Structure 1
Amino acid sequence: MSEFEQGRYLSPRGPIGLMSRVYKYVLPEVRECLHFWREDAEGIPDPELRKQALASIETKQFHCEGGGIYAAGNLAMRHILIPLIVAYQTISDYLDNLCDRSTSLDPADFRLLHQSMLDAINPIAEPVNYYALRSEQNDGGYLQRLVQKCQEMISKLPGYSAAASEIHDLAVLYTDLQVYKHIQPELREDALQEWWKAEGNRAPHLQWNEFAAATGSTLGVFMLFLAACDPKLSTSASATIRSAYFPNVCGLHIMLDYLIDQDEDLAGGDLNFCNYYDNTDIMLNRLASIVEWARKDVRSLPETSMHRMVIEGLLALYLSDPKVSEQREVRMISKRLMKGSPLTRLFFFVNSRWIRKHMY
């Protein structure tokens, strides 16, 4: 039995230990990686591609910082995990910007762009011209360099072969979501619901919008990257991780993201999965249910306390966001979700606010 399966990999034991690692190692090293990619993006020749690459780093830095939490689970391997997580999340954020503000509505274009995320998790894949179906072409090699950085780091994970299938499965779902949610507005809801009819049996307790949200999270992939640090990782352990994270932990992540972005998405004409509930009370009850399902799921994993901290950290991170106070209904939901919070969530809530105030 591997160290991972026995629960002996060196994860932090409590919230103070976790945040100590975050402040000392994760945040500085994530930001160092992002600084590198920001300088790289500044050299992109095409003005639109350069604009979206820089905007994705500027406005979504906290995505990489949040993902970097998984490197706190194995500090000895953070020199691999942090560059890998940052590069993979930067691809995700960059492509999301490109598709949200796209000069194209071609699903084939979106699928080719996101082939980069599938290539990034396959260390022997040969990068291609991911822009071949759109007018903007010249990124000076930026996206291919991000892909190659992921491949380079993955090749150094000793247990990756055991995790590769589960990671690929999550990446395919993510790619499908990005295609369907960015096509013509009048077509996307029907496309998403047809997709749900084909794939939703994976999560029959979720509604179509909740299932779609769950496919949009990278947390399951990052947890599998962490697990792949173990050379004795088994395929069965990888499957257990995937089922513990997808759909409920992943779904909670993205539903909270959409919760606080409702006004922003309305202004931008973007699809928001929180807009498909009949009223605020139903949305609140569904979010509360997903929280409880996620808590139950992670009990199947070794080092359960770390995964419980991830769940409480997600709630704290998103519900402490300044966007919450600017939206009346979101503010009300936040107060109700935070009511009676465990001390761990309150601890992360205070830390999230401190980080935003003092470290940005």
Structure 2
Amino acid sequence: MLTSIANTAAGLSVLRKFVFDVFPLVDRELECWRQAAGGGRRELTEQALDSIHLKKFHCQGGSVYSLYRGVPTAKFVRLVVALQTISDYLDNLCDRAGITDEPAFRQLHLAMTDALDPEAQIHDYYAYYPYQDDGGYLRRLVETCRQEITNLPSYPVVKPEILRQAGFYSELQTYKHLHPDVREEKMLAWINTHLPSYPGISPWEFAAATGSTLGMFMLCAAACDSDLTQEKAGQIAQAYFPWINGLHILLDYFIDNAEDRLNGDLNFVSYYKDSEETKSRLRFFGQQALTQAKTLPHPAFAETVVSGLFAMYLSDPKTDAPAEKAIKQQLLKSAGFYSNFMYQLCRYLRTKKKL
């Protein structure tokens, strides 16, 4: 009981700072990128502006790591917003421009790994893309990430794992946006080369884990500690991939499943055979994520992040539909007091238009 009270107090503190201190910083950074997005071709400008307008939630969520112990909040928000904006912009370029070209997608996503490797050569990201003049927008995003990374004293400790996760992310985005006739076969061929290292999860659960940027943000936050050891970095990597990363994206796909079914969009949760399996596997990932969170250097923060994932996604109005609501209720029942407390807070914040 004392642990629950302590976690609740920690959660309230994090949530208050998150909403009232961090969200305005996110807004400020996004406004800067909104102004920077208008210097190139109309097609690219539209996608850049749409990604900022429609996916602000992603930048807000990732910026919770600016509240990790020892992290300079404002500077870290700048890194998170730049990297997440690269991710969201590239997603739009692959998903909304009527293009299904694998070399173009692969080349575009070199921006993700370039952004996380200050020593890497800058690539021509639009080399195979039909529109190429963005007024320097994507390169500025990449360079901003690289500048902020140079301020992380222990980045060399986490860099190999960050680049591994960024590589997985880029592979996923390359394959998932291909034509529906070929994407599943290509994705499975790629996934099955890695799946033996992750027993107990399905191919589509592995794919979900690769689709999250949370592990990258957490490792960058940990790298603010000049005394970070390889052992601690390894603990973080193991906790996030596949468990916390996987929970993040599975919840994201869960709330979008009905909408994606109508639109014919790829959705990893749709591969579960029925609602019972969906509930069982989401609960399993949630339990694994919470168990792993308790092993991390600052467990109260890690548990707050995991409980926050349940709270943020399950408080979304999309989960009020009958089929989703039944699963939501079961997930909250198994998630424990802290997640339910955070869930009620998020529902309240949504009524106040804070989320």
- TM-score, shorter chain, exceeding 0.5: yes
68-77 or 133-142: bigger deviation: 68-77
1:309-348 alignment to 2 at 5 Å? 309-325=304-320, 327-339=321-333, 341-348=335-342
Q: Which runs of 5+ in 1 are unaligned?
A: 1-10
> Contact (CA 8 Å) 1:162, 1:238: kept in 2 or not?
yes
Match of 1:6 in 2: none
Alignment partners' CA distance in 1, 2:345 and 2:81: 21
- Runs (4 or more) in structure 1 with deviation over 6 Å come to none
- Structure 1 residue aligned with 2:21, among 9, 12, 25? 25
Q: CA deviation at 1:305?
A: 1.4
Q: Distance in 1 between matches of 2:59 and 2:344?
A: 20
Could you tell me whether the CA contact under 8 Å between 1:12 and 1:72 is conserved in 2?
no
SS of residue in 1 equivalent to 2:99: coil
Is the counterpart of residue 245 in structure 1 residue 240 in structure 2?
yes
Superposed counterparts of 1:99-248, under 5 Å: 99-248=94-243
Does residue 358 in structure 1 map to residue 353 in structure 2?
yes
For each residue in 1:279-309, what CA deviation from the matched residue of structure 2 results, as whole angstroms up to 9, or x when unmatched? 1111110111111111122222111111111
- CA gap of 1:95–1:282, structure 2 versus 1, over 3 A, is same
1:29–1:82 contact (8 Å) kept in structure 2: yes
Q: 1:341 Cα shift?
A: 4.8
Aligned residues between the structures:
348
CA contact (8 A) 1:12 1:306 kept: no
Cα drift, residue 266 of structure 1: 2.8
2:85 equivalent among 82, 90, 98: 90
Q: CA deviation at 1:95?
A: 0.9
Distance in 2 (CA, whole Å) between partners of 1:322 and 1:232 is 43
**Deviation of residue 213 (structure 1)?**
0.3
Q: TM-score, normalised by structure 2?
A: 0.93
Alignment check: 8 A CA contact 1:170 1:221 kept: yes
Q: TM (normalized to structure 1)?
A: 0.92
- The root-mean-square deviation of aligned C-alpha atoms, in Å, is 1.8
Residue 343 of structure 2 aligns to a residue whose secondary structure is: helix
Over the matched positions of the two proteins, sequence identity in percent amounts to 41
The separation in 1 between residues aligned to 2:62 and 2:226, in whole angstroms, is 22
Provide Cα deviations, 1:130-172, integer angstroms capped at 9, x if missing partner: 1110111111111111000000000111111111011001001
Matching residue of 2:4: none
Counterpart of 1:14 in structure 2 is 10
Alpha-carbon distance in 1 for matches of 2:334, 2:204: 28
CA offset digits 1:223-274 (Å, max 9, x no partner): 0011000112222321221111100110000000001112332344321001
Amino acid of the residue matched to residue 110 of structure 1?
A: F
